């Protein structure tokens, strides 16, 4: 993601400071993300994508496809050299799709520099394996494999794995009508 973020920033003609201000993030944090030192939270990635006027999957995944049906094969995903800390986009790469799905392997501390994430829209978490702690404002829930949570993503939230465990979580985000679609623009409207 780091190289891609820097290229997108330069293509947009923005300095680190200008991108940071547009995202309400610190220059230092954006610099760390560009250098691969920090991994952005999903909320920060959404802010970066909006500021750069690109779909969020452009920051994480392969270039969007123009086919209205997206098939992601397990064998294709296994061939990628994917950092387990980076959310892996599994859906939302086709033009016109509103929701974005990620698979996340949370750590005990979580990812990103912010203690809690929040963004507009709805979020659904489904624990694929292991055990996680979901903090929603002042509320804390332990979720096991097979458990799910659906909530207003404007509520400050954080996902971490429970102490001494490994977990994998499917996260689905549906922005509200006030946001631009999370998905890729069509070739005709590409920026």
In this prediction, the residues of the chain whose per-residue pLDDT falls under 50 are 63-66, 78-82, 113, 178-191
pLDDT at 163: 84
Helical packing angle, 16-23 and 27-35, nearest 10°: 110
* Exposed/middle/buried for residue 12 (C-beta within 10 Å: 0-12, 13-18, 19+): middle
- What are the CA-CA distances from residue 159 to residues 21, 33, 83 (Å)? 26, 20, 17
- Going along the chain from its start, the domains and CATH numbers come out as 2-189 (2.60.120.10)
pLDDT at 110: 63
- What are the CA-CA distances from residue 132 to residues 17, 141, 149, 154, 187 (Å)? 35, 8, 11, 20, 39
pLDDT at 165: 82
pTM summary value = 0.58
């Amino acid at each position: 993601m780091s190289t891609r973020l820097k290229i997108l920033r330069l293509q947009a003609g923005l300095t680190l400071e200008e991108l940071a201000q547009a995202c309400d993030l610190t220059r230092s944090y954006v610099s760390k993300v560009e250098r691969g030192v920090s991994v952005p939270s999903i909320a920060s990635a959404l802010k970066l994508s909006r500021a750069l006027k690109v779909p969020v999957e452009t920051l994480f995944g392969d270039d969007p496809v123009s086919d209205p049906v997206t098939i992601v094969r397990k064998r294709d995903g296994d061939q990628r050299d994917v950092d387990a800390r980076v959310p892996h986009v599994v859906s939302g790469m086709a033009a016109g799709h509103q929701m974005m799905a990620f698979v996340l392997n949370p750590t005990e501390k979580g990812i990103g520099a912010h203690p809690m994430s929040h963004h507009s829209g709805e979020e659904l978490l489904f624990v694929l394996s292991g055990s996680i702690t979901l903090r929603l404002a002042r509320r804390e829930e332990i979720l096991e494999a097979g458990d799910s949570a659906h909530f207003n993503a404007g509520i400050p939230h954080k996902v971490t794995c429970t102490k001494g465990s490994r977990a994998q979580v499917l996260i689905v985000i549906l922005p509200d009508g006030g946001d631009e679609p999370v998905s890729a623009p069509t070739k005709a409207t590409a920026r």
